Amino acid sequence: MKKFCFLLLFASMSIFGQTESYVQTLKTFQEYYNQGDSQAIYDMMNSRMQEQLGLKNVKAIVTTFRDNLGSITEYKFISREGFTETYEATFEHGRQNIALTLQPDGIMSGLRFLPAAEENSVAKMDRNQTPLSLPFKGEWYTFWGGDTKAQNYHVVSKTQKHAFDFLILDKNGKSYERSGTRNEDYYAFGKPIYAVCDALLYKVTTGVEDNRPGIMNPTQMLGNSVILKTENEEYIVYAHFEKETVKVKEGDFVKRGQYLGNCGNSGNSTEAHLHIHIQDGPNVLGDIGVKCYFDSLWINGTLERDYSPVKGDKITRPKE
């Protein structure tokens, strides 16, 4: 359905060795990044990158990384392949790999941020302690959920390892009607999404356009999103809301069952669905995912309590 990584543009060619031009370009990038100068970073790119990305998306990427990881403090060379050299960058609050591609004239033609090698990090909690209700009404389908890669491709991500992707299917197992070329064709699109518990609105992101079905926006990973903070220091991340439907703001205190916004297809998403996960801190690039259990729900027609859905489960919220 989607993959979570920040992609600017990438091209593979042929060259040998770590070169001084790459080191110098990375130093210049580090300087501009640490200053928060998105325009200067945009100006380092060739015209194709600029056309495909746009300054707005470059600003979104820089803001996301600076908000979550802080400044770059150092980097070290890892490998080379073609015209691409990969470095491990150490930030104030985490690490990321940077894959850099240059044209023969030294202009940047590709830049990717990739997860660094995972450390043996352990979450501050094994699971949620706050009782949670389902974030929607009606019957939804668990497209991704569970502890194995076959059940849940999120397991490879430190932050999202216990995430869910939920959508709505019809009796024929399809998530859309008609041609499926419009967001409005998808059953989940526009459906109301609710707070799973009493919590503080820690962060709200709005203004991201909904994608055309099948086309993702990896530069604005979560799209229109909401992060709730519970009294137990659990950070609950909702992603991919429909543009202009989020009706809460940072600093609000919401009650369990309160309307947050509509399900959409913004961010790194191919079709309308709800992504939700819990992490042990606010850093969406560096903190650790926590397993999520809902306190009461119908699973394939059976009432379950304290249950974590797995791929294939049809789930319904009990009447309250």
Domain residue ranges in the chain = 6-115, 139-316
> From CA 214, how far away is CA 309, in angstroms rounded?
25
Helix (H) / strand (E) containing 33 = helix 20-35
- Across residues 147-156, what is the average pLDDT? 94
Report pLDDT digits (tens) over 89-128.
999 988 899 999 999 998 999 998 887 876 667 899 999 9
Supply the pLDDT for residue 15: 37
> From CA 54, how far away is CA 185, in angstroms rounded?
29
CATH architecture of 6-115: Roll (3.10)
- Across residues 298-307, what is the average pLDDT? 96
Supply the pLDDT for residue 198: 98
Q: How much of the chain exceeds pLDDT 70, in percent?
A: 93
> From CA 247, how far away is CA 263, in angstroms rounded?
12
DSSP code for 53: H
Query: Does residue 8 surpass a pLDDT of 70?
Result: no
Contact, 317 vs 153, CB < 8 A? no
Query: Does residue 270 surpass a pLDDT of 80?
Result: yes
Based on the number of CB atoms within 10 Å of its own CB, is 184 exposed (0-12), middle (13-18) or buried (19 or more)? exposed
CATH of region 139-316:
2.70.70.10
Supply the pLDDT for residue 2: 52
Supply the pLDDT for residue 4: 47
Q: How much of the chain exceeds pLDDT 90, in percent?
A: 81
Supply the pLDDT for residue 122: 86
- Across residues 25-46, what is the average pLDDT? 96
Across the chain, what does the average pLDDT equal? 92
> Strand 224-229 vs strand 199-205: parallel, antiparallel, or unpaired?
antiparallel
Supply the pLDDT for residue 219: 84
Supply the pLDDT for residue 116: 81
- Across residues 178-194, what is the average pLDDT? 97
- Across residues 300-320, what is the average pLDDT? 94
* Both structure tokens of 248: 């809460």
Supply the pLDDT for residue 9: 47
Question: What is the per-residue DSSP string for 113-150?
Answer: EEEPPPP----S-SB--S----SSSSEEEEEE-SSSTT
Query: Does residue 5 surpass a pLDDT of 70?
Result: no
Query: Does residue 6 surpass a pLDDT of 70?
Result: no
- Across residues 131-151, what is the average pLDDT? 97
- Model pTM score: 0.84
Res. 1 pLDDT band, cuts 50 70 90: low
Supply the pLDDT for residue 114: 83
DSSP 3-state assignment of 87? strand
> Strand 72-81 vs strand 6-9: parallel, antiparallel, or unpaired?
unpaired
- Across residues 46-72, what is the average pLDDT? 92
Report pLDDT digits (tens) over 212-246.
999 998 888 999 999 999 999 999 999 999 999 99
Q: How far is CA 239 from the centre of its chain?
A: 7
Supply the pLDDT for residue 18: 63
Query: Does residue 166 surpass a pLDDT of 50?
Result: yes
> From CA 215, how far away is CA 163, in angstroms rounded?
21
